[in-house]
Amino acid sequence: MRVRFISLLLLLLLSVNLRAADYRAEPLDEAAPADEISSDIAATLARTGTRVIRGTKTTFCDIWLCKELAVQKDFKVTSELLYPFTPGQLMGVARFARRGSDYRDQDIDSGVYTLRYAQQPVDGSHVGTSLTRDFLLLLQAEADESSDVLDYDSLAERSAEAAGSSHPALLSMQRVGEKTKAPSMRHNDEHDWWIIGLDGKTDAEKELRIAFVVYGVAAE
């Protein structure tokens, strides 16, 4: 009887821990922190954002997309590229309430970061690391004050500084999947990825859903 009781208790504790590790997204009726980003970048952001919550109430991060997302008019989706953005363009801002990690499991300190679109280079160093080439790179907000498109070298260098390493800090963009009300969150059981879905607007005032791994690391 005692062994059975202990087993049930362990199962209960395990289920509580699993629930505590869940993530969800909810609307955030709050503007991005103007005192921590440049006025130029603040002017590009939507008035409201999205809050990512871990467990029952712990704030993981807040995200604000740009109010208009510029897109390439002649873009066509391929097996490698999913999104019609220009490498280096500003996508939004994220504020991490506590230390997190990126898609490569690099530490991301708490603080405010800009999010910029990037495409994984086609070279021998990246073969087999991802099925798609769409990523969001994180840059420390204090090191990224202009909303202009950044060239790849500057983008990669500043993002690596944000990670405190030789490799950019990045979040993997994913296929949108089943369309549900945004903001949405889905879990990839195979990789233990939490994938957020957000709705932005293009410069033609059309709705555009984007999805990316907000918590989870690349498969080894």
pLDDT tens across 78-129, in order?
Answer: 999 999 999 999 999 999 999 999 999 999 999 999 999 999 986 555 444 5
To the nearest whole percent, how much of the chain has pLDDT over 70?
86
User: Tokens standing for 19?
Assistant: 């629930």
Average pLDDT for 67-73: 96
Residues with Cβ within 8 Å of residue 72, at least 6 apart in sequence: 84, 85, 86
Query: Cα(216)–Cα(40) distance, rounded to whole angstroms?
Result: 31
Domain boundaries, given as residue ranges, for the chain: 24-215
Q: What is the mean pLDDT of residues 153-182?
A: 94
Whole-number average pLDDT of the chain: 89
DSSP count for the chain of H helices, then E strands: 3, 12
**Residue 48: pLDDT over 60:** yes
- For the entire predicted model, the pTM comes to 0.87
Mean pLDDT of all residues in 168-196: 94
Asked if the model's pLDDT at residue 13 lies above 90, the reply is no
